[in-house]
Structure 1
Amino acid sequence: AYLSEPFYCEGQNPTQARKLRFFSGPLYPEPTLLEIFYDLFFAANYNVFSDTQQVTNGSKFRAHVGYFCLLWQTWFLVTMFDVRYLSDSISARMTRAIQLGVLIGFTVVAPSFDLINQHANTFRTMSLLLMVSRVTLVVEYCGTLWHVRKYSKAHRPMLYQISIHLASSIFYLGFSFSFYDGMRGSSYMTWYFLPSAEALAVVLLAYWKPVLSVDKTHIMKRMTLLTVMIMGDNIAEIAKTIVTIVKSPESWDRITISVLTASVVTVYFILLTYFDWLRESFYLPPLRLQFWIVLHLPFHLALVFFTHGLTQFLLWSKIIVQFQRLNATTASRVYLGNVTGPIGPLVQRSINETVQSFFDDYPPVWPNLRQQIDELLRQISDVPESFWRHIMETDRMFREDFTDMPQEFQDSGATLNEIYDQVFLIMTNSLFGAFGVDLPADIGSSKPEDVDLQTHVFFEAWDIYRLTFVCGYLSCSCTIILMALLAIAARSAPYKAWQLLRLFIVLLLAVGIGLVSLLWFDLVRSGDFLQSFWILPTITLVWTVVMILTHVNGEGIKRNIQRLRNKGWLSSGQ
């Protein structure tokens, strides 16, 4: 296997150094095909989880965080072996096949990974998958130890490394027996603490023992490659969202084009800023390298939530457009013209045409909703004709307060309002379902009189949007802050005044965009902001400013000002 340069003992000549490897092939300064393929599995794996489980409440949020951390830490521990010792051999291909099988196992348990309705077999399978991954690492490190058995300086560090993974695998095996049907509680939290401690121990061991060092490996290239894959996966998600929101060529309105452009530009600027701040510093001193590596777990976590939020903002922008169109339609006046016959059937037919036209564009996910609409429209026939004549004479709006009407019409007005409110809720909930918003399953079995259920579903959908807004803005703030910390860790030159000022401005922007999420506590202002179309462009503007600041050279500005002064175009006081 490929062994990193720190494995070469003092006084060793190149011939002796080559004996430390399984094969005499070249060292790998770049990620190999096996490593890239493994990284692709990682990106696809979390994509499956985010598709099957939306962040709709606190428990789903914790499940997303926990699942990603388990997946990332498993990937990281395998990567730490790969960058130091992996070669293209039969044994390496076999062990990589096992590790890929572990990632496939993660995909299998993803749909039923629920922290509230805990499924014993799912949790047990997860523990066994973690055990298999660690046992495979133990076998790989034992193979490496065997090939360096003649070099005593390598024995103890390798045994430490093996002991870490062996102890973890034993614990995961024992922990798998603690799950049972009907279990409740937070024992699953052990998954989060143990892999974190294991990964931290591996990083510290790599810093403490030069034999296990990753200083001159391509670990940074693996980390940046995974970042690119996460961003690329988000572009694929944006493309899928476009297919969802654009039902016909007429769907390309100015708002859709604007928010789509904003989302793509934001992703592009994130990628450029990440690599511009890295400045091709793919080899760092040991301490700063460990810090840079450790920061990538929270950075990738924030980046995943942020990029997922971008696609959700794109989706919700279209929902808001259609919601406002629907709201305007149901609040319109009743234009009856010079009607001579019965008015009730005419109104009934007009409403039905509006509803069916809407359902043609956004068919209800639950067929029972059409039956509910039909039942509600039939109730319009119970409204007396005299009420419709009064409506035609006063030119009233639908869905308004009828308490100022004559006493004999107030009950009919209240009935009509209930019908319209219920039709509006059903159509809106159908809109949410058509765009893939995760709504309660029992809405499909509801009845026309289940007003409370329809109302509950309506407000729950808006709560999901509010939660998406908070997660998106907070994760955007964390992404900028963590990228700034990564840039500090990767910077080798001392900071100058302008660079410190630029860093301070960037951090202020990050804090500012995070503070916007405080609108969560103000229902009125948050509702107004969420129904505007500035959710996504606001984030894009922040990243645009960050991108501009990245390429503004303070020294260059200073030189240009001095040049203008020398030419007499500026006075010395300017």
Structure 2
Amino acid sequence: MSAQFANRRKPRKIGGDDEENDADEQDSGPVVKRPQAIKTKQKSKMRLSFGPGGTSMTDEGDQESEVVIPKRTGLAKRALEKSALQRSLTPSGVGGQIPLRVGPEQDRPSYSSDYLKELRDSTPSTPKPAAEDESEKAVDVAAKFGEVMKVSTPAAIPSEAEIREKKARRARLAKEQGALSTEKDFISLEDDMEDDDWDLQGRREDIRDTRLIRDDEDFAEGFDEFVEDGRISLGRKAEKEQKRKQREEMRELIDDAEGLSDDEDSDLEEKAAYEASQTRAAMGGGKDHIDRPRTPPKMTSLPRLSNSLDRLRINLAVLEKSKAQMIDRMEELRKEKADIAVREVEIQALIKEAGDNYEKLKLDAGITPGTEENPSAADEIANSRGLEVQRSVIAFIESPIDEKDGDRPHLRRQSEATPIELFFDLFFVANLSSFTATHEINNIEALWAYIGFLGVIWFTWLQVTLFDIRFARDSIFERICKAVQLAAMVGFASAGTRFTTRVRAENVWAFQSLSLILGGSRLLLALQYTVNTIFLRRRMMPAARGVSLIAGTQFISSLTYLLMYYAFQQQRGLSPYIWTVWFALFGVEMWVVMGTSSATPGIGLQDTHLNTRMGLLTLIIIGEGVIAVTRIVNKTVGPGGWTKWSFVHILGVTTNVYFLWQAYFDLSPRRILGKYSQQIWAQLHFPFHVALILLLEGSQILALSLDITLKLLYLAETILWACEEPRPRPDHAIRILRTTIADMEIDYSRGAINEQIAITRILDDLPNHPLCPSYRTGQIPIIRDMLSDLVGNVTAALFSTMRIMPSNQTHPGNLSSDQLLQRYMALLQFVYVYYFAVASLTMFFFGGFVLLARRHTLRRCTSISATTRLTLGIVLASIVSFSRYFPLVYSFMTSPAILYAFTLTLLMVLLVDRSLDWYQSYSGRVQDSDVP
């Protein structure tokens, strides 16, 4: 046989052999056995085996089957003995034992002759020499399954009858399973098969189901690396490390046995259940339970009233504290929102400036507006900041519906006014300024004319605003409509110059023009609402019905205005106040549009920026008051420079405007108003704006009147000085008188030419008469009339310069100086009455705004704030009753206190509001301190 087949496995028979073979079989390995007198070493419990039959690892085997390990006298000797033990663990005295071999044959240790001799001398029975062929045919189980393989040895040799019975049984089983048996299922009991026959039989094996599966020849390759039994530890450190590893292995085995591993939760549960069942069984299983009455519960005493009240007080204090904290938080959020709103305006201005710079840089770089890569992103940015920027492509008509982000269809909303809306507001103020410049409020008729024209332009502005805040989008169609609306504002300005409270032949064309302009503006609004109805009908049917109703109302009102044109043309048979029908139409339009919007879902006014538009218009009107302040400065300070009294007058008007602004914007709604509160808030702004405009105009007239009064007082003092002792020379006194009148810098070109001629004539005639005659000369009446005429003409010239003129029923030149002074005093008295009347109305409106906006979170604070405004309004109205006593009115109107009366009233209101704010915060802190 060749060398490559020398180490291959040899087939052998399974089971016991014949008696003849038993006698011939010998162990292939050496068997080491100690004498009986030597004390046996206690075996390790880690090598116990619980298989059938005794082995060399068991304690219950026969004496012959026990493996005795000789005493290790030295390190080399112990290594040799251990190597011999690993290669042969067959017990002595037992025939037919399968030999054990550790590793391949070339790894076996070689025994020297001296060691064998010594081993024979120390062993009672020497093992028989094993035949070479038997050694080659023996199955090397240790090489196959490693060192831990436990080989069981039968307790007794089977007899011949038992062997025949087993062979017959195997043959019978083979016949029964003949259908499923194959060649590889056959296990030969003969040992005379050659290696070549076995190899050929193995080659004919195919992959089928069988009872025996051939393992890989390299099954145990590298297995020795994971086994610590055959290694020798040299040195103390190695032995210490080996003992430590053994202790770790023992600890792991103990933990596994006790079920302490986390991976065996089921074993722990079973063990716990078993212990619990054993415990219950030991305790009787609950069968012999002794019944006994339960321990009665501890009786709790009834709570005392004082303790309950204390507990309720504590709970109430906690709730009040939480409420105060929430109120403070709401106040902080309100202030933060206000700051954000202010900051937003600044940021928008910065963004607009940056956009303008960016466009300028693009133009400088040669980039045209049509080459933008992403116009949709620019549009989205423009919509997010509430501005309308110039785009490369503008749609002819754009839908007002917003369907982005997967939301249900709704109208596009904006939080701020667009530039085109602000531009439209400027046209409103321009109309107001032009009308104020051509119409002095000097009597009750002029006052009603002022209110009437203001109503025409205000309600037109309101209708346009109610459309813009919901439906206006930047498109060619909307720009055309806005241009027509701006043209209508210009038409109002042209017709406003001839607007009066009565329709006359000389001004009938103004009313006809206004009728045509009103009809055209409402017809345009009807067209705009109709176009948006077409868009809404597809996606928002309920909203489309409401918009259709509004469009129908605007169309009917436009027809009514156009019919009024013919009514003014044939006004001879009608009342001169027929133009008041406009206000009835204004009210119907406003109530129909607002009522329909609030009742129709999707087009309501709650989530729009209507409050912002009203606030901006109010701010522009207050800005008109600031322009009036600059006019006062030019008229009073310009001629002679600043004086202490001019400073006091200008300060009074300026603080009046400032406190008006602060009082209004402190009451601006910080939250969304209710359905009806929103309508009341918007509708109250028309009378509020009227009162505000009249109040600012009245304060301007009062400031100018005070300046005129001071100049006349200085002129009177100069005349009296000329007659006081020691008297100056007449020529010197007349020169001082001329200088005094010249220092007034009267602009006679503003309708005071006749007064200038009269003043010059009187001054030239004064040297011909004694300036201070005695009673003896009899010239006192002449000089008195001359000086009286001088003062009257100077007064008329000053009022004409300040654009304060009495009614034009009688020319001033046809009146004497006393009559002229009385006429001007009547004018000032009228201004005094309507000034405090509109001041009281303004305070009443502020009280209503407090109730609608709910500036204070506490109800009692809101009530106190509103009551304070109403009370102060009543006080201002009571001042009007002073007009019955002319000396009292004259002394009050010639004093700067009249300018500070309303200013001090507004200051008192602001102080009350700040006190209420402090009270709210203080009450919250007190509640916090009371809670334990």
In structure 2, distance between residues paired with 1:413 and 1:291:
66
Counterpart of 2:746? 362
Partner AA of 1:306 in structure 2: L
- C-alpha distance in structure 2 between counterparts of 1:222 and 1:231, whole Å: 14
**Residue of structure 1 equivalent to 2:576:** 185
Partner of 2:800: 433
What is the match of residue 138 of structure 1?
526
Task: Tell which has more relative contact order, 1 or 2 (C-alpha 8 A, sep 6+).
Answer: 1
**Pairing of 1:45-124 with structure 2 (within 5 A):** 45-116=431-502, 118=504, 119-124=507-512
Counterpart among 578, 586, 607 of residue 216 in structure 1: 607
Partner of 1:258: 648
Q: Provide the C-alpha distance between the structure 1 equivalents of 2:400 and 2:673, rounded to a whole number of angstroms.
A: 18
Give per-residue Cα distances to partners, 1:429-473, cap 9 Å, x unaligned.
111112221246798883xxx5x3444333222222222222221
User: Is the CA contact (8 Å cut-off) linking 1:45 and 1:103 kept in structure 2?
Assistant: yes
Supply the distance in 2 between the matched residues of 1:317 and 1:4 (Cα, whole angstroms): 57
> Does the 8 Å CA contact 1:439/1:457 hold for their aligned counterparts?
no
Most deviating of 270-279 and 187-196 = 270-279
Query: Which moved further from structure 2: 135-144 or 36-45?
Result: 36-45
> What per-residue deviation string (whole Å, max 9, x for no partner) do you get for residues 488-509 of structure 1?
1122876433432232122211
Distance 1:371 1:298, change over 3 A: closer
Residues 4 and 84 in structure 1, CA contact (< 8 A), matched pair in contact too: no
Moved more, 35-44 or 323-332: 323-332
Is the 1:127–1:176 Cα contact (8 Å) retained in structure 2? yes
Residue 243 of structure 1, CA deviation: 0.9
- How far residue 377 of structure 1 moved from its aligned partner, in angstroms, is 4.6
Please report how far the alpha carbon of residue 278 of structure 1 lies from its aligned counterpart in structure 2 after TM superposition. 2.4
**2:896 is the alignment partner of 1:527:** no
Deviations 1:93-132 (CA, angstroms, capped at 9, x unpaired)? 1111111111111111122112247311111001111111
Of the structure 1 ranges 165-174 and 330-339, higher mean CA displacement relative to structure 2 is found in 330-339
Secondary structure at 1:148's aligned position in 2?
helix
* Distance (whole Å) between structure 1 residues aligned to residue 852 and residue 399 of structure 2: 27
3-state secondary structure, aligned to 1:212: coil
Question: Take 1:483 and 1:338, find their aligned partners in 2: how far apart are those partners?
Answer: 58
Q: Which runs of 5+ in 1 are unaligned?
A: 392-404, 566-574
CA distance in 1, matches of 2:641, 2:624: 25
Question: Which position in structure 2 is the counterpart of 1:419?
Answer: 786
Partner Cα distance (1:442, 1:333) in 2 = 37
Amino acid at match of 1:421: S
**CA distance in structure 1 between the partners assigned to 2:588 and 2:820 by the alignment:** 41
Rg comparison, structure with higher value? 2
> In the alignment, what sits opposite 1:154?
543
Letter in 2 for 1:231: I
Q: CA deviation at 1:181?
A: 8.7
Higher helix content, 1 or 2: 1
Equivalent position of 1:288 in the other structure:
677
Residue pairs, 1:521-560, within 5 angstroms:
521-552=884-915, 553=917, 554-558=919-923
1:467 maps to which of 807, 813, 830: 830
Kept in 1: contact 2:511–2:568 (CA 8 A): yes
Alignment-derived partner of residue 298 in structure 1: 687
SS in 2 for 1:149: helix
Contact 2:543–2:600 (CA under 8 A) maintained in structure 1 = no
> Contact 2:722 / 2:733 at 8 angstroms: preserved in 1?
no
Tell me if structure 2 keeps the 8 A contact 1:352–1:377: no
Matches within 5 A, 1:204-283: 204-248=595-639, 250-281=640-671, 283=672
Q: How far apart in 2 are the matches of 1:515 and 1:327?
A: 33
1:34-74 per-residue CA deviation (whole Å, 9 max, x = no partner) reads 11111121122111111111111111000011111111110
Mapping of residues 289-438 of structure 1, within 5 Å: 289-334=678-723, 346=730, 350-351=733-734, 354-355=737-738, 357-359=740-742, 361-364=745-748, 365=750, 366-377=752-763, 380=766, 383=769, 391=774, 405-406=775-776, 409-410=777-778, 412-438=779-805
Cα deviation, residue 204, structure 1: 1.6
SS in 1 for 2:684: helix
Write the distance in 1 (CA, Å) between the matches of 2:687 and 2:807: 31
Distance in 1 (CA, whole Å) between partners of 2:651 and 2:781 is 45
Q: In structure 2, do the counterparts of structure 1 residues 370 and 72 end up closer, same or farther at CA, with 3 Å as the change threshold?
A: closer
CA distance in 2, matches of 1:213, 1:87: 17
Task: Tell me which residue corresponds to 1:174.
Answer: 563
Instruction: Say which SS state the counterpart of residue 179 (structure 1) adopts.
Output: helix
* Residue identity opposite 1:47 in structure 2: S
CA, structure 1 residues 297+227, in 2 after alignment: closer, same or farther (shift >3 Å)? same
Residues 1:169 and 1:378: Cα distance change in structure 2 (over 3 Å): same
Tell me which amino acid in the other structure corresponds to 2:424.
Y
Which runs of 5 or more residues in structure 2 are unaligned?
1-397
Task: For 1:82 and 1:129, locate their aligned partners in 2 and report how far apart those are by CA, in whole Å.
Answer: 19
Q: Distance in 2 between matches of 1:338 and 1:68?
A: 56
Distance 1:525 1:105 in 2: 45
Read off the aligned partner of 2:484 and give its amino acid letter: I
SS of corresponding position for 2:592: helix
Report the Cα distance in structure 2 between the residues aligned to 1:439 and 1:493, rounded to whole angstroms.
46
Q: Does 1:488 align with 2:874?
A: no
Amino acid at match of 1:105: G
Q: Are the counterparts in 2 of residues 4 and 216 from structure 1 also a CA contact under 8 Å?
A: no
Return the offset for 1:356.
Answer: 5.6
Aligned-partner residue type, residue 511 of structure 1: I
Q: Equivalents in 1 of 2:733, 2:444: separation in Å?
A: 43
Quick check: 1:112–1:122 contact (8 Å CA) kept in 2? Answer: yes
What TM-score comes out, normalization by structure 2 length? 0.53
Q: Quote how far apart the aligned CAs of 1:246 are.
A: 0.9
Change over 3 Å in CA distance of 1:198–1:454 after alignment to 2: farther
In the TM superposition, residue 286 of structure 1 has moved relative to its aligned partner by 1.0
Query: What SS class does the counterpart of residue 247 from structure 1 fall into?
Result: helix
Q: 1:255 to 1:142 in 2, by over 3 A?
A: same
Q: Distance in 1 between matches of 2:542 and 2:650?
A: 57
Which letter maps to 2:687?
P
User: Structure 1, residues 372-407: CA drift from partner, whole Å, max 9, x if none?
Assistant: 234335655665x7x96x63xxxxxxxxxxxxx35x
Distance 2:642 2:929 in 1: 48
3-state secondary structure, aligned to 2:616: helix
Write out per-residue CA displacement over residues 176-213 of structure 1, whole angstroms, 9 at most, x where no aligned residue: 11224985621121122221222122222222222431
Q: In the aligned structure 2, how far is the partner of 1:476 from the partner of 1:441?
A: 27
Is this contact kept in 1: 2:851–2:866, CA < 8 A? no
Looking at structure 2, the residues matched to 195 and 43 of structure 1 have their Cα atoms a distance apart, in angstroms, of 20
In structure 1, distance between residues paired with 2:825 and 2:727: 41
- SS of equivalent residue, structure 1 residue 277: coil
